[in-house]
Amino acid sequence: MKYSGYAYIKTIGCQMNVYDSEKLAAILNSYGYEKTIDMDKADIVVCNTCSIRHKAEEKAFSFLGRFAKIKKKKPHLITVMAGCVAQQEGEKAFARVPHLDIVLGTQAFSRFGPIIDAIKSGKKKIVDIKNSAMIYEALPDTSCFEENKISKFVTIMQGCDNFCTYCVVPHVRGRERSRLPAAIIEEITLLAAAGVKEVTLLGQNVNSYGQKEAQISFPKLLAAVNDIAGIHRIRFATSHPKDLSSDLIYAIRDLDKVCSHLHLPVQSGSNKILKKMNRGYTREKYIDRILKLRKECPDIALSTDIIVGFPSETWGDFKDTMNLLREIEFDSIFAFAYSDRSSAPAARFSDQIDEDEKKERLNNLLGLQEYYTEKKNKEQIGKILDVLVEGKSGKLRDGFDHVQKSMEQMVGRTQSNKIVHFPSKDVIIGDIIKIRIENAYPHSLWGHPLGAQR
Ligand code: SAM
Ligand code: SF4
């Protein structure tokens, strides 16, 4: 059916959810709902949720809770909980959000349209958390894109088979499934035609792309994407350390569009904790992979994810993680306090760590990393780097006092994923320009452009 009205979509969580929200927007658009950023105008509100940590889950309930009053004044408003919390909670979501109309699980996208029809024709409270062997395939609708039209996420696989003991992903996103290479190439070709310059290929463990389906390997997929005209940069996440193959390292080294940046989540520097997490590698194996990577790609930037306060983590184990940061010198890290998830086995592990203790470890870790992030940024001073222009600079952080306030500032990213601010009136979003780096700050670089290439 075709309706007329506005759709407001709130996205919580990871890059995959950003991608999924664009798919949901496209489905709604095909049913006549135009995307709006004005919540008050909405005739349908979708909250695309994340359950990776307790805080993200609470954010979803609190966002949807706001619509109790609004729905009283606007009874035709349809409220939807989509994504991981929807999959996890099912029917139970109605108990916490009584005014909710639809609970749309992670594998129910292909049925979203008919579900809206059913609600429109008077059906109340629909839950769809059924599994689906097929991945929902639909070409992107560029009119539904978020603001950034230069850099796009493309999910290449869904679910996960790794079952790390702290993680909800296998429980809410299902078993690992890979998309067909032809579908991925068609999608990226369409994105390139729409002006997209950079794609980030997404999966929970991209190294195992296509293995179950006996399709081409991930390095071969990278090579195929590298051949797409109009795409200038290729990124990917996430690579699992246990499966980081030499072929992937060579692909990063040899394919000109693959950025020299790798996100390789280590989670902990302690072998005891890595074993309890079921990560499938040791600290030594992780370091070995990093050494191999740095040998082949000496300028590669490295980032990682770390969880502190996993059950039974002692100060000694935590020190192992701190020392790993000193040994590897990552360019940046994402660090989290362990969050208990009832569907993940670690929730039932003994020796849970006190919340204050977790906070203290997290602060210590972030404090140490700040030193290395700034150090890595300072190493860029004097270099001439290619920067993909993303937009106008927002409010500049402290430390930019030397910059004239009246000067027009733009912002972009280096291949190594570092943010660069620079003064210019003559570049447009999507240009790749050479910038001489002159200053480095804890979170970004600053420099002068040398010339544009379109
Ligand atoms: N597949 C990726 C991998 O294996 O590294 C990670 C995906 S997960 C969406 C992103 C990050 O969230 C993880 O790397 C981990 O650091 C963090 N995370 C997952 N479960 C968590 C939990 N229960 N508590 C705290 N952080 C968690
Ligand atoms: Fe979660 Fe581990 Fe799978 Fe990553 S590899 S999604 S952390 S279970």
Instruction: State pLDDT tens for residues 244-294.
Output: 999 999 999 999 999 999 999 999 999 999 999 999 999 999 999 999 999
Give the pLDDT score at 2: 86
- Give the count of alpha carbons within 13 A of 406, CB side only: 0
Give the pLDDT score at 134: 82
Sequence-separated (6 or more) residues with CB below 8 Å from residue 86: 49, 93, 103, 104, 105, 106, 129
Give the pLDDT score at 398: 46
User: Nearest-CA neighbor of 290 among 307, 256, 254, 265?
Assistant: 265
Joined together, the tokens standing for residue 20 give 């999924």
Q: Give the pLDDT band (50/70/90) at residue 214.
A: very high
- State if pTM tops 0.85: yes
Positive or negative torsion for Cα 395, 401, 404, 408: negative
In the reported structure, the alpha carbon of residue 241 is separated from the centroid of ligand 1 by a whole-number distance in angstroms of 13
Q: Report which DSSP code applies to 276.
A: H
Mean pLDDT score of the chain: 94
In the reported structure, the alpha carbon of residue 346 is separated from the centroid of ligand 2 by a whole-number distance in angstroms of 13
* Cβ 204 under 6 angstroms from ligand 2: yes
Residue nearest to atom 1 of ligand 1 (CA): 204
In the reported structure, the alpha carbon of residue 167 is separated from the centroid of ligand 1 by a whole-number distance in angstroms of 6
- Separation between Cα atoms, residue 193 and residue 214, nearest integer Å: 30
Residue nearest to atom 12 of ligand 1 (CA): 52
Per-residue buried b or exposed e for 253-287, using 16+ beta carbons within 10 Å of the residue's own CB? eebebbbebbbbbbbbbbbebbebbebebebebbb
* Cβ 321 under 6 angstroms from ligand 1: no
Structure-model confidence comparison of residues 328 and 427, the more confident one: 328
* Cβ 435 under 6 angstroms from ligand 1: no
Residue nearest to atom 16 of ligand 1 (CA): 305
Q: State mean pLDDT over 295-317.
A: 98
User: Nearest-CA neighbor of 23 among 126, 141, 153?
Assistant: 141
**pLDDT over threshold 70, residue 83:** yes
Instruction: State pLDDT tens for residues 84-111.
Output: 999 999 999 999 999 999 999 999 999 9
Q: State mean pLDDT over 148-160.
A: 93
